[in-house]
Amino acid sequence: MNRCILHIDLDAFFVSVEQALAPGLRGKPVVVGGRPDRRGVVASASYEARVFGIRAGMPLAQAYRLCSQAIFLQGSFPVYRDASERFMAILADFSPCLEPAGLDEAYLDITGCEAYGTPHQLASHIKERVKKEIKLIASVGMAGCKVVAKIASDLGKPDGLVEVAAGQEKEFLAPLPVINLPGVGKRTEQELKAMGIKTIGQLAALPPEAIKNRLGAAGVIIHRYANGIDDRQVELTGEAKSISRETTFAEDTLDRTFLQAILRYLCERVGAELRQESKHARTITLKLRYADFETITRRISSKETTDADEAIFAGAVTLLDQALARKRKLVRLIGVGVSNLVGYGKQLHLLDSRPQRLAHLDRAIDRIRNKYGFTSIQTGRTLLLKDIFATREGDFMLETTSLSR
Ligand code: TTP
Ligand code: MG
Is the pLDDT score of 396 beyond 50? no
Which atom of ligand 1 sits closest to the CA of residue 11? 11
The residue nearest atom 20 of ligand 1, judged by CA position, is: 43
- pLDDT of the residue at 345: 45
| Ligand 1: centre distance to CA 399 (Å) | 13
Per-residue model confidence (pLDDT) at position 350: 41
Contact 284, 312 (CB under 8 A): yes
Ligand 1 atom closest to residue 105's alpha carbon, by position in its atom list: 2
Residue 88 has pLDDT above 70, yes or no: yes
Tell me what the pLDDT averaged over the chain comes to.
Answer: 89
Measured in Å, residue 73 CA sits from the centre of ligand 1 at 15
* pLDDT of 347 strictly over 70: no
Answer yes or no: is pLDDT of 189 > 60. Answer: yes
**In this model, does residue 402 exceed pLDDT 50?**
yes
Q: Give, using CA atoms, the residue closest to atom 24 of ligand 1.
A: 43
Residue % of the chain over a pLDDT of 70:
91
From the CA of 246, the nearest ligand is 1
**Reported pTM:** 0.69
Looking at residues 3-28, what average pLDDT do you find?
97
Q: How far is the CA of 293 from the centre of ligand 2 (A)?
A: 26
With the most atoms of ligand 1 within 8 angstroms of its CB, the residue from 7, 8, 10, 13 to mutate is 13
Q: Rounded mean pLDDT of 145-154?
A: 98
Report which bound ligand comes closest to the CA of 75.
Answer: 1
Measured between alpha carbons, how far is 289 from 332 in angstroms, rounded to an integer? 5
Q: What is the pLDDT of residues 276-332, one digit of tens each?
A: 888 889 999 999 999 998 999 999 998 888 899 999 999 999 999 999 999 999 999
Query: Does residue 395 have a pLDDT over 60?
Result: no
Residue with the smallest CA separation from ligand 1 atom 15 is: 13
Average pLDDT over residues 203-220: 93
**pLDDT at residue 140 is higher than 60:** yes
* Binding pocket residue ranges, ligand 1, CB within 6 Å: 9-14, 43-44, 56-57, 103-105, 157, 400
Ligand 2 centroid – CA 210 distance (Å):
34
Q: What is the pLDDT of residues 317-345, one digit of tens each?
A: 999 999 999 999 999 999 999 998 887 64
Find which of 47-51, 326-330, 384-388 is predicted with most confidence, using mean pLDDT. 47-51
| SS3 assignment for the chain | CCCCEEEEEECCHHHHHHHHHCHHHCCCCEEECCCCCCCCECCEECHHHHCCCCCCCCEHHHHHHHCCCCEEECCCHHHHHHHHHHHHHHHHCCCCCEEECCCCEEEEECCCCHHHCCHHHHHHHHHHHHHHHHCCCEEEEEECCHHHHHHHHHHHCCCCEEECCCCCHHHHHCCCEHHHCCCCCHHHHHHHHHCCCCEHHHHHHCCHHHHHHHHHHHHHHHHHHHCCCCCCCCCCCCCCCEEEEEEEEEEEECCHHHHHHHHHHHHHHHHHHHHHCCEEEEEEEEEEEECCCCEEEEEEEEEEEECCHHHHHHHHHHHHHHHHHHCCCCEEEEEEEEEEEEEHHHCCCCCCHHHHHHHHHHHHHHHHHHHHCHHHCCCHHHHHHHHHHHHCCCCCCCCEEEEEC
Distance from the CA of 8 to the center of ligand 1, in angstroms? 13
Q: Is 99 a catalytic residue?
A: no
Looking at residues 68-94, what average pLDDT do you find? 91
Catalytic residue among 18, 48, 99, 105: 105
pLDDT at 278: 81
Q: Note if the bond before 355 is cis, omega within 30 degrees.
A: no
Please report the atom of ligand 1 found closest to the CA of residue 398. 23
Mutate which of 50, 79, 104 to test ligand 1's pocket (most atoms within 8 Å of Cβ)?
104
pLDDT of 349 higher than 50: no
